[in-house]
Amino acid sequence: VTAPVRLPTFSSLPRWFACELTDVLPRAEEPSEASEAGDSRHAFFQRISELLGADENRTLDEARELALAECLPEHLEVLRAIPVDSPAFRFDSVAAEVALAVNLKTGEGRELGRGLGRDYSGAGPDELVGTIDRLGLIGEDGLYVGDYKGRAHRRAPSQDPQFLAATLAAARAYGRTWAEIEVINIVGDEVFARKERVDLLEIDTFEQRLLTRRALAEKNQVAHAADPADLPEATLGEHCRYCPSLRYCPAKMELARAVLGGDNDEIRAIKAAGAAYLTSESAARLHGLVKQAEQVLEIVKEAIVDYARQTPFQLDDGSGRWYGVPPAAQTRELLDGRKVQKVLAELFGEEAGAAGVTVKPTLEGIEKAVKAWLTANPTLSKKGAIKENREKAEALLLERGLMRVIQGGTVKVHKREG
Ligand code: SF4
């Protein structure tokens, strides 16, 4: 009797299809900045939908303000910029944050609930699960399946396993035969929506693809259980970025070993234990190695950038994207911060002008001011004048409460007494 095959969630399917090694490695789910930002966005939209559903007299603006009031302060700026009144959103016509499951043994689909916050504990071992941001029914036999994505997401919805799995589960759950699937890319305060249609044949073909991959995962897991050294092939790529097995991945370790020249056991231990593994001796040695490796990588990276500037090339990650200067690229540059601020203030008012241009005082700026002053007043220039006047300026700034001194700082190479 073998253990049930470990299945990914809808959103992890692109990685599951790309790399067989994920079938057997342990996982350590660690929230990333990107996943936290994504979760906050999803919760924000869900809350707007709920608020609109709860009171039909409530306007979108009111719902948005109420939802914003419940968000964490660090996400406010990004969420406030989203133009929720864009026609792409249509909050009133869809259900939000719908958790779905499709049973890979029986082919049946079901809705697990709404707003579960990725809690799939109610799902069975043969169920592939996931959450879709937007779900609606069209006519007698159609579906609408939509999901919000950030800047980095470029896959067409009809080619995206996450969308296709949600469509399969929903089609089976609600007895539907076709779907309009839509990716809504939110890039700052702009929204780009792309909608495609999939029919029964594509939905069924995707199910077959899932079953084939599941059979392969089972084979990989059985072989690995019988002999832990038997590992399926690794495929490195963009999909590694948020891989929960990254810490345990021998392919990544091999790459680190090749770059660092360290030994496998040591790198494996660092991946598992992080800082807890290090001693002052190994930390010092590895710090030197990392510096060497960074220098080499910098040289290689620069060569690649130079090459791509002359000869753009297509990435080998299957995304169809290129590396090089985009053909229609232009670089826009603003020249004089104060004058730019004036123009913005003229157009949009003082407050907006101040919000649009940031004046950032720096310690280097104090020194620059002193040097400019000494250049304009050469008679005051003498040995130690820069230091003396910089200290004078800092003392005045401290006195006026415009500078503060905080104990501690960043980790860096430095000298110590004794
Ligand atoms: S880190 Fe990349 S290569 Fe390693 S298991 Fe994850 S997806 Fe595969």
Give ∠ CA 134-135-140 in degrees, rounded to 5. 155
- Of 245, 247, 255, 271, the one to substitute when testing ligand 1's pocket (max ligand atoms within 8 A of C-beta) is 245
The CA-atom distances, in angstroms, between 312 and each of 79, 298, 326 are: 35, 19, 9
What integer pLDDT is reported at residue 71 of this predicted model?
85
Confidence of residue 367 (pLDDT cuts 50, 70, 90): very high
Q: If you measure from the C-alpha of residue 235 to the centroid of ligand 1, how many angstroms do you get, rounded to a whole number?
A: 6
Confidence of residue 262 (pLDDT cuts 50, 70, 90): low
CA nearest neighbour of 26 among 275, 260, 228: 228
Residue 261 has pLDDT above 70, yes or no: no
Please report the sign of the dihedral spanned by the C-alpha atoms of residue 412, residue 34, residue 119, residue 103: negative
**Contact status, residue 131 vs residue 100, Cβ threshold 8 Å:** yes
Residue count (the chain):
418
Bridge-partner residues for 127, per DSSP?
103
For range 306-321, the mean pLDDT:
86
Give ∠ CA 391-393-396 in degrees, rounded to 5. 110
Query: Letter for the amino acid at 45?
Result: F
Residue 380 has pLDDT above 70, yes or no: yes
Nearest residue (by CA) to ligand 1, atom 2, is: 240
CA of 240, closest atom in ligand 1: 2
Q: What residues contact 175, with CB distance under 8 A and at least 6 apart?
A: 141
Q: Is 128 helix (H, G, I), strand (E, B) or coil?
A: strand
- Of 235, 248, 267, the one to substitute when testing ligand 1's pocket (max ligand atoms within 8 A of C-beta) is 235
CA of 20, closest atom in ligand 1: 8
Please give the Cα distance from 291 to 306 (Å, whole number): 22
Token readout for 368 is: 């620059």
Q: How large a percentage of the chain has pLDDT more than 90?
A: 44
- The predicted model scores a pTM of 0.66
CA of 250, closest atom in ligand 1: 4
Element (H, E) at 191: strand 190-198
Confidence of residue 269 (pLDDT cuts 50, 70, 90): confident
CA nearest neighbour of 135 among 151, 154, 113: 113
What integer pLDDT is reported at residue 202 of this predicted model?
95
Token readout for 290 is: 């990392």
Confidence of residue 263 (pLDDT cuts 50, 70, 90): low
Q: If you measure from the C-alpha of residue 149 to the centroid of ligand 1, how many angstroms do you get, rounded to a whole number?
A: 22
> How many C-beta atoms lie closer than 10 Å to residue 243's C-beta?
21
Ligand 1 neighbours, Cβ below 6 Å, are: 15, 19, 21-22, 25, 234-236, 239-240, 243, 245-246, 249, 251-252
Nearest residue (by CA) to ligand 1, atom 3, is: 236
**Contact status, residue 348 vs residue 342, Cβ threshold 8 Å:** no
For range 202-210, the mean pLDDT:
96
What integer pLDDT is reported at residue 31 of this predicted model?
64
CA of 15, closest atom in ligand 1: 7
Q: If you measure from the C-alpha of residue 18 to the centroid of ligand 1, how many angstroms do you get, rounded to a whole number?
A: 9
More confidently predicted of 289 and 71:
71
What integer pLDDT is reported at residue 260 of this predicted model?
67
Q: Which residue has the tokens 């709404």?
A: 114
CA of 239, closest atom in ligand 1: 7
More confidently predicted of 155 and 113:
113
